[in-house]
Structure 1
Amino acid sequence: MAKDDLVQVEGKVADLTGGGIYFVTLENGLPIKARLCGKMKRFNIKVVVGDRVTVGVSPYDPTHGLITHRHKI
């Protein structure tokens, strides 16, 4: 699936685990698991608890997603 096929939603990072999995609470209150997309890993962009992020969620499995953008405060 291409990155263009993902549904873009905004949320807030609630928790993170040691394996690079972030728990993100979306605007509508649903919690999902997300990981960093490739360009965020490549350019070494750090995401911490409390950051607002844009998550690309697959229409086939809405419980997992890719963090594609970290919003500046």
Structure 2
Amino acid sequence: MKEQKFIHEGLITESLSNGMFRVKLDNENLIIAYISGKIRRGFIRILPGDRVRVEMSHYDSTKGRIIYRLTRLSKKDSND
């Protein structure tokens, strides 16, 4: 049976080496997360300030895997 993963949303606060990022989750926890292979293959750029969806194991709550970058609203869209 496959292990159940927890999915959280958070904000990228710092870019580290080798595709690793420091992410502040919505529940105020700070974790280290790496980019999933699907995002790496798709050449999706992730920068500090982006909102992401992170998958975490219940065994280690300090590490996670970035599985999705949420869309960012442009300034033009937010003024309407």
TM norm structure 2? 0.83
What are the equivalent positions in structure 2 for 1:49-68 lying under 5 Å apart? 49-68=48-67
SS at match of 1:41: helix
- RMSD of aligned alpha carbons: 1.6
For 1:28 and 1:11, locate their aligned partners in 2 and report how far apart those are by CA, in whole Å: 8
Q: Which residue of 2 aligns with 1:35?
A: 34
Larger radius of gyration: 2
Provide the identity percentage: 34
Moved over 3 A (4+): none
Q: Which residue of 2 aligns with 1:70?
A: 69
Q: How many residues were matched structurally?
A: 72
SS at match of 1:7: strand
Q: Deviations over 1:10-40 (max 9, x none)?
A: 0000001122210000001110000001100
Bigger drift between 32-41 and 13-22 goes to 13-22
SS at match of 2:19: coil
Structure 1, unpaired ranges of 5+: none
For 1:24 and 1:30, locate their aligned partners in 2 and report how far apart those are by CA, in whole Å: 8
For 1:64 and 1:5, locate their aligned partners in 2 and report how far apart those are by CA, in whole Å: 15
